[in-house]
Structure 1
Amino acid sequence: MAITLAMLKTFVSVAENGSLMEAAKQLGRTPSAVSMALKQLEIEFDTQLFSGERKGNLTPTGIFALEQARNLTDQCDEVFSAIRAYAKNEIGYISLACVPSVAEHILPQVIKAFHAQWPKVEIEIRDADSRSVINAVHSGRVQFGVASLAKKLPGIEFTPLFQDSLGLVSSADDAPPKPSKNISNKKLALFLKDKKLLLNSITQSITLPEILENQENSRITVHNVTSVLALVKAGAGVTVLPRLLVPETDTSLNFIPFADEKLRRTVGLFQRNGSLLSPAALSLVEKIHTRISEIEHNIGGNFTKLNLSGSA
């Protein structure tokens, strides 16, 4: 019969109490069960651990065995406690990558709420463009990512989270003369006729002729969202961005969504096929869903929360 953790705990309890009866009370077992466990342990070790029938004194081997058994049972207790804490989100590690719009407008409130509830969980966040986010997930550098769906990759699962409109972004002083709820392709062509289009990853993914024609004449490409918005505010040009990146509270910027409903981006959760998120990561994702619902309520039609099927 193999030595079990229960046997070792029984031995430690008897040795520390100096009494089989007291150990039985402490362990919630009958004295005969405790006695049987000790006999089995001595059979496995092929030596006596106690001198005398009362179990009050340890043999030299028993003294050595007590030290080793204590170390092992204490270590097991620590392991069990850590596993329980992990399962309850009390400890853990989360690594994720996301696009800048999510890092700036969704994660701050999410992380604040999450860490107030689970302060011992370590979180590592990387922000990058969608392609880099997906590559980080695919290579295993992060547990999951939040980015826009460019194309499906083998081995990667995509769960839609929200859609938001793409639109023309200009400074408040450089806005189209007649404000409207959206801008048609014809109006876009007229507006861009004498404007500099600041290129970014979004403009380079749009196939509108009006955008493509202006791209050929553009000489400025900006890869950082903060930088492109600063240039727009300074009147250096106009650009195209998702709705989430242009806060309504920023009166120095003007956002007009494109009239074409197809010009929307879909943002969702990326993770490797078959991978299971930790309890802590699942809790974080749940808070991301809550934050998306709040944003949908505040922004309205240009931002839509999606269900698992990808519909609103």
Structure 2
Amino acid sequence: MTITQLQYILAVEKHLNFVEAAEACNISQPALSMQIKKLEEHLNVKVFDRSQSPVIITPVGQLILDQAKIALKDFNQIYNLVVNEFDGLQGEIKLGVIPTISPYLLPLFLKNFHEQYPLLQLQIEELTTEKILEGIENGKLDLGILATPLGSTKLREIPLFYEELMAYVSPENELFEKKYILSNEIDLSSLWLLEEGHCLRSQIENFCELKQKQNIVSQLNFKTGSLETIVKLVDKYKGITLLPELAILDLNEDQMCKIRRFEGEKPIREISLVVDKHYPRYAVVEAFKNSITQSLPVDILTEKPQTILIIN
């Protein structure tokens, strides 16, 4: 049993097709099939049922695939340990960032980061929280930037900053005349949210206690992953939404006049750098942390406030 064979069966699991898996692995389909057959003969089990199209993963095959992911992740850690020992600030780093952070945070620090660490090659993906956690777990991502806390014992969370959520209100909405607003004053029929799967949507739902309220209307089912689209919809349909602090920094003067803070306990979300608990490249983690915190606008808090409402 070899590492290469494990890589091949994981490719077949992903594509459920031997031809596509072979193309992804840059080898011929017969060569890939032969290596998987050797693995199955060595283990005396069938990983895949080839009589079906697409191929079916056998019950014992799924157990083997799950263990293969762990084995490959541990194997890759050996390389990471060597790189970290001799020069932790070179090589490839795969980073996942949630969409409500990516367009606002990356432009702040990425240019200086590349200039300071020219030997690090970054591969950055904009992904939902679920996909980032999945990527870190299976070793396809090194780090993630997302909202925390996550409550996982398998992960290490390094808080970067705390950003307040503020209301963006259309001038035609009745709350526009108020200087400060309360969450229970929001009319759900005028509230616009991102589609399911985005952590910001869940945070707003929790803050406004939407799950406990019955008058959930069509706007809540609108499917978009773009805060910019939500802002335009609010302007067009006398609506309201909640925006994180970094996103507000990109608004123009006219749009800033539509921002309203919440009265009393302010909703704040924690943004952290997240890695596997045993991720060995400490120098890389520290480089990201320092570069990001040093690039933040002065109004963004980098220390946890004493009295806040962390929403997740």
TM-score range, shorter chain: 0.5 to 0.7
**Any conservation in 1 of the 2:172–2:238 contact (CA below 8 Å)?**
no
Tell me the residue number matched to 1:229.
231
SS at match of 2:175: coil
Q: Does 1:184 align with 2:178?
A: no
SS at match of 1:229: helix
Equivalent residue for 1:239?
241
How far is the alpha carbon of 1:217 from its aligned partner?
2.0
- In the TM superposition, 1:44-83 aligns within 5 A as none
> Residues 50-99 of structure 1: CA distance to partner in whole angstroms, max 9, x if unpaired?
xxxxxxxxxxxxxxxxxxxxxxxxxxxxxxxx97997273x421211112
1:101 aligns with 2:105: no
Deviates more, 1:110-119 or 1:216-225: 216-225
Change (3 A) 1:282 1:130: same
Q: Which position in structure 1 is the counterpart of 2:261?
A: 257
Partners of 1:185 and 1:284 in 2: CA distance: 35
Structure 1 residue aligned with 2:166:
167
Q: Distance between the aligned counterparts of 2:132 and 2:284, measured in 1?
A: 20
Three-state SS of the structure 2 residue aligned to 1:100 is: coil
Q: Is 1:132 matched with 2:131?
A: yes
AA at the equivalent of 2:249: P
Rounded Cα–Cα distance in structure 2 between residues aligned with 1:275 and 1:248? 34
1:249 is displaced (CA, Å) by 4.1
Scaled by the length of structure 2, the TM-score of the pair is: 0.58
The whole-number CA distance in structure 2 between the counterparts of 1:131 and 1:176 is 34
Q: Verify the 8 A CA contact 2:167 2:241 in the aligned structure 1.
A: yes
Aligned to 1:288: 292
For 2:215 and 2:165, how far apart are their aligned partners in 1? 17
Match of 2:190 in 1: 196
Which blocks of at least 5 consecutive residues in structure 1 are unaligned? 1-81
CA contact (8 A) 1:170 1:232 kept: yes
State the AA in 2 paired with 1:258. F
Deviation (angstroms), 1:122:
1.0
Partner of 1:147: 146
1:137–1:233: structure 2 CA closer, same or farther, 3 Å change rule? farther
Task: Find runs of 4+ consecutive structure 1 residues off by over 6 angstroms.
Answer: 82-86
Q: Distance in 2 between the 1:264 and 1:228 partners?
A: 20
Q: CA RMSD in A?
A: 3.4
Check 1:257–1:130 CA distance in 2 against 1; reply closer, same or farther (3 A cut): farther
- For the residues of structure 2 that align with 1:88 and 1:153, how far apart are their CA atoms? 26
Flag the 1:114–1:247 CA change in 2: closer, same or farther, 3 A: same
- Residue matched to 1:9: none
How far apart are 1:215 and its partner, in Å? 5.9
Q: Structure 1 vs Structure 2: percent identity of aligned residues? A: 17
Supply the AA of the counterpart residue of 2:190: K
* 1:270 and 2:274 are equivalent in the alignment: yes
Q: Could you tell me which runs of 5 or more consecutive residues in structure 2 were left unpaired when the two chains were aligned.
A: 1-81
Report the AA paired with residue 223 of structure 2.
V
1:305 partnered with 2:309 = no
Give the TM-score normalised by the residue count of structure 1.
0.58
Task: Determine if contact 1:168/1:256 at 8 Å carries over to the other structure.
Answer: yes
Shift of residue 149, structure 1, vs aligned partner: 1.4
Range 108-117 or range 280-289, more displaced: 280-289
Residue 247 to residue 216, structure 1, CA distance change in 2 (3 Å):
same
* 1:216–1:131 CA distance, 2 compared to 1 (3 A): same
Partners of 1:110 and 1:284 within 8 A in 2: no
Name the SS of the counterpart of 2:216 in structure 1.
helix
2:88–2:281: 8 Å Cα contact kept in structure 1?
no
Partner of 1:47: none
Give the letter for the 1:216 counterpart. I
Deviation at 1:112, TM superposition (A): 0.4
Distance in 2 (CA, whole Å) between partners of 1:223 and 1:85 is 44
Cα distance per residue 1:1-53 (max 9 Å; x no partner): xxxxxxxxxxxxxxxxxxxxxxxxxxxxxxxxxxxxxxxxxxxxxxxxxxxxx
